[in-house]
A and B are shown apart, each in its own frame.
Chain A
Amino acid sequence: MKLSIGAMVEPGSTRTNKTGSWRTFKPIIDVEACIGCGTCSMFCPEGTIYKVADKYTIDYDYCKGCGICAHECPVKAIEMVMEEE
């Protein structure tokens, strides 16, 4: 591996590491039930739940499946389901 001067690296370059492969349970947002409050997005340790229009969507490339979003959702609109092969 070649070191750059000052060992500097590109900002935000951990994105090359797709942590979605860590996941055992997958959060699924029920868009009908979602009230768009943003609690899930605020608490996500990966910062990988985004607002699209008035609802929220999860980027499964990085979601580790911790389940904080489902646990904290005030209207229980997120369900954790077992990942399939």
Chain B
Amino acid sequence: MQEELFAPGHRGCAGCGAAIAARLILKGSGKDVIIVSPTGCLEVISSPYPESAWKVPWIHSLFENAAAVASGVEVALKSLGRKDEAKVIVIGGDGATIDIGIGALSGMLERGHDITYICYDNEAYMNTGIQRSSSTPYGASTTTSPAGKVSFGENRPKKNLPAIAAAHGIPYVATASIAYPKDVIKKVKKAISIEGPKYLQIHAPCCTGWGFDGSKTIEIGRLAVETALFPIYESTEGKVTSVKKVKRKPVEEYLKAQRRFSHLFKIEGGEEELKKIQDIADSNAKQFGLDQ
């Protein structure tokens, strides 16, 4: 049996998607890694001092500089002549990656460091109380984009960071979902085997922030993929090389299962917003050829 490299006893909520993501990443990477984690849910739940859930070398950086810290670790390994001993991996949330750390990440990608940057995407700042991030999808209600009389929730589309990463011309960009664990493991293995900067974005539903029962974390993740709201694909040097085809479901099936979208089914004008979200899914399906 493969050794479990992410120990139990961590403080993740019952049904935590980020904890599942961490376990799957470590299953793919094996023990010869150095993990850098910026501030975020995963950091908070896995490292309540004086404890650590990690059974691999792990370092906590600031919110904004995980990619810079990882760059330093990679260069240090290189100059010590010990580069073959460990792969450097960043595991950060969408807030740390897509909002706050995007500058450092862009620098890391552009300088060509041999690092795998993995973003577990739970689509808001969860551990500080569910504030919106630039990865929050259109129409979601969060504490800083609350739905009410004058608002349908988040009014901007989800920032497409995989496309921004791919625009750096890096050797490997991929998206995945914890609902498809073998795909996550395969992509982590592939990413760390490639020399140069790699970016992976793993969709990790959050039962607390999105408002669904903890037993449904995987079901919700699967629905995001099946509705084409989270397309799964791989790309090499900016060109899409593989996509996960789906038998498409209407977006309502995904949205109605979560509290953060429940206002769309209640308030006047909600139908129009649902149509806009369906348009986003249709456009994803068309762009990537997701339909079976």
Interface, chain A (partner B; CB < 8 A)? 1, 4, 7, 9-19, 22-23, 42-48, 50-51, 59, 61-62, 64-68, 70-72, 80
With a cutoff of 8 Å between Cβ atoms, the chain A residues found around residue B52 in the complex are 9-14
The residue in B13, B23, B56 that gathers the most chain A C-beta atoms within 10 A of its C-beta is: B23
Decide if A71 touches B53 in the complex (CB within 8 Å): no
**Please, how many residues of chain B have a CB less than 8 angstroms from a CB on the other chain?**
39
Decide if A22 touches B50 in the complex (CB within 8 Å): no
Decide if B4 touches A66 in the complex (CB within 8 Å): no
Given the known inter-chain contacts A15-B7, A71-B218, A71-B219, please indicate yes or no for A45 contacting B20, CB distance below 8 A.
yes
Q: Compute how far the CA of A11 lies from the CA of B9 in the bound complex, rounded to whole angstroms.
A: 12
Interface, chain B (partner A; CB < 8 A)? 1, 4, 6-17, 19-20, 23-24, 46-56, 178, 181, 207, 213-219
Decide if B9 touches A18 in the complex (CB within 8 Å): yes
With a cutoff of 8 Å between Cβ atoms, the chain A residues found around residue B50 in the complex are 1, 4, 9, 13
Top-3 shortest CB links A-B: A67-B215, A14-B9, A62-B8
With a cutoff of 8 Å between Cβ atoms, the chain B residues found around residue A47 in the complex are 4, 6-8, 23
Q: Compute how far the CA of A13 lies from the CA of B9 in the bound complex, rounded to whole angstroms.
A: 8
Decide if A14 touches B48 in the complex (CB within 8 Å): yes
Decide if A67 touches B15 in the complex (CB within 8 Å): yes
CB < 8 Å neighbour of B8 from A15, A23, A68, A70: A15
Given the known inter-chain contacts A19-B8, A47-B4, A68-B218, please indicate yes or no for A14 contacting B51, CB distance below 8 A.
yes
Closest to B17 in A: A45
Q: Compute how far the CA of A59 lies from the CA of B213 in the bound complex, rounded to whole angstroms.
A: 22
Decide if A66 touches B51 in the complex (CB within 8 Å): no
With a cutoff of 8 Å between Cβ atoms, the chain B residues found around residue A43 in the complex are 20, 178, 181, 217-218
Min CB distance B1 to A, Å, is 6
With a cutoff of 8 Å between Cβ atoms, the chain A residues found around residue B48 in the complex are 14, 17
With a cutoff of 8 Å between Cβ atoms, the chain B residues found around residue A9 in the complex are 47, 49-52
